[in-house]
């Protein structure tokens, strides 16, 4: 029996999704599930874990149905990989300092640049739309304590502190007798 498969990326991706669902299922087993009418904190993670595992198994099963294609994995897209990982790091580090709006603009532009098919013409409205939508949703709608623009963008942050001069020493005067 041959163990060849048509789409090795789909096979590996499906197995990874099954593994991630299994890890979530493992860590979520201590949470009380409850019932459908009185859901506990473990109900939703349990359902999502099983759905992830089922979808990953279907994806892996469909990839195993035809002969193997030579060179199906291809080259690693290093630019895209580094830009996506870098955008995640920039978001985590820069959110408090730069604020939500500028960080989202940078992240969306970086992820658009990671794709071979994205253009600047498509990235500009996408970045503006995502930044405005997320800022409105998270800051105004949900009331999260996130700065729209952070301290790192204010001139006072980058200018040196004003020199503080000590008040002139006064000599106590003694009343004349």
What are 24-44's pLDDT values in tens digits?
A: 999 888 888 888 888 888 888
Predicted TM-score (pTM) of this structure: 0.55
Place of tokens 């739309």: 129
Of the pLDDT bands very low, low, confident and very high (cuts 50, 70, 90), residue 1 is very low
């Amino acid at each position: 029996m041959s163990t060849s498969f048509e789409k090795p990326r789909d096979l590996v991706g499906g197995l990874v999704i099954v593994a991630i669902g299994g890890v979530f299922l493992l860590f979520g087993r201590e949470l009380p599930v409850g019932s459908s009418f009185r859901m506990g904190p473990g109900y939703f993670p349990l359902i999502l874990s099983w759905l992830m595992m089922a979808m990953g198994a279907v994806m892996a099963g469909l990839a195993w149905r035809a002969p193997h294609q030579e060179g199906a994995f291809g080259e690693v897209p290093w630019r895209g990989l580094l830009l996506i990982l870098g955008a995640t790091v920039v978001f985590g580090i820069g959110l408090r300092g730069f604020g939500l709006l500028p960080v989202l603009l940078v992240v969306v532009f970086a992820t658009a640049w990671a794709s071979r098919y994205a253009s600047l013409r498509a990235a500009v409205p996408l970045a503006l739309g995502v930044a405005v939508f997320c800022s409105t949703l998270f800051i105004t709608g949900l009331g999260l304590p996130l700065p729209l623009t952070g301290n790192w963008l204010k001139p006072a942050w980058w200018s040196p502190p004003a020199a503080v001069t000590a008040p002139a020493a006064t000599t106590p005067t003694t009343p004349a007798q």
